[in-house]
Amino acid sequence: MHASGMERPSCLSRSSKMNSYITNALSDFFFKYETPRQVLVRNRRVGVVCRLIQLGVLAYIIGWVFIYEKGYQSTDTAVSSVFTKMKGVGYTNVDGEERVWDMVDYVFPEQGDSSFVVMTNYIITKGQKMGKCPELTEPRYLCNSDSDCERGIIERTGHGHMTGKCVGNTTKTCEVVAWCPVEDDHAIPDPALLMSAENYTLFIKNSVTFPAYGVKRSNLVEGIDNQYIKSCVYDPTTSPLCPIFRLGDLVQLSGFNFATIAKVGGAIGIVIDWTCNLDYDQSECKPVYTFHGLYGNPNEIDMARASVGYNFRYAKHYMEDKQEKRTLLKVFGIRFDIIVRSVARKFDIIPTLTAIGSGVGIFGVATVVCDLILLYLLPKREFYNNMKFKVTETVEQCDNLRLGINTFIYYIPDVYAGPQVSANIILQHKEPLDEFSSEK
């Protein structure tokens, strides 16, 4: 009982407390704003560490994200097509037989593909017809009797189907059913028969489309017309946009020696790079050509000597005296693979905001590092710990009323200056309620 004779108030009912809680929660959610409290610490070492980290983060955002990686732009890759055309005439004189080779003879497959082979050397076996003949005089094919030649066997590296007979006069070998006479490819012509291929020219026509931006470009850029194409030859310094390439220059720019690669063959990659910044005029979007030796030249670059060079076989069939015959060619050549690599960039607000937001988030690293230094490394870490964290006991509102305790919230004023340390500091001050200060 109070001195006034009134009874001591009881705790609010549970339903009243719930209604009051919900009302206060909604009111706080819509009409109040909370912000973290900042404790400013005056410490030179921590301040220097904080600023250095922030400068590092700022340099990363500006230098790497925005300048180098172009984080403020969106990207798109191109849909592309490549058309090629070879020109040039070769001449050979083998054993007194003269022959002229044009692009139909030395380009495989047909013209126009982005991956093709230019023949530079060959081994020819003429007049082959289906029949029975002895194998080559190599140790693996030698025999002394028919028992050494098992009938029906086909050697993996052989030329035909064994008949089971051992034939020959001085040197005996197994007889096979094959295209006769069998090919002997041990003597590779040196120098290459088609050294004139060094002066062949390759014309490349490339078109790209960036569908996200609706931009279409061709390697026949502004300033390249019919008159220019008739006289230009690609040169990385004087004519970097000319689409006509001399084969000897391609081999040299790829790091190979033409005489060596022409003998046994090899492979060269031609990369057309479209890296375009569409924030500028479309006319600035131009191709850049680079050349890469993929394999060849065993004595210079290529260390995979188990299978040197590049070669394949093909045959020309014909009828003679009502019998099918063929001319077999083992072709050594340079394989060209044209690869289009493309990326177009243009300003976009979404990646820009994303890059800025992620950069701002990384600034929090400075706060974390400084907090660790303050709380665990400095001599006054206990003092900084007390300033950063304030621990209070939670007292239910109903118990406060019963005990006659009033709860107020106070904030400690900022008395330090220096690096900012995040801290939520709420102190509860307890004092008796006036209406419960005297009891009967």
Query: Which parts are annotated binding residues for ATP?
Result: 85-87, 201, 311-313, 330
CB 340 within 8 A of CB 206: yes
Nearest to 148 by CA among 132, 121, 131, 168: 168
Partner residues linked to 268 by β-bridges: 293, 336
CB 303 within 8 A of CB 370: no
User: Percentage helix, strand, coil, to 5, in the chain?
Assistant: 30, 35, 35
CB 335 within 8 A of CB 328: no
Burial class (CB within 10 angstroms; exposed 0-12, middle 13-18, buried 19+) of 322: exposed
Give strand ranges (E) for 169-305: 173-180, 201-210, 215-218, 244-246, 266-277, 288-295
Strands 97-101, 107-108: pairing kind:
unpaired
Q: Which residues are annotated as a binding site?
A: 85-87, 201, 311-313, 330
Place of tokens 């000319």: 242
Q: How far apart are CA 94 and CA 89, in angstroms?
A: 17
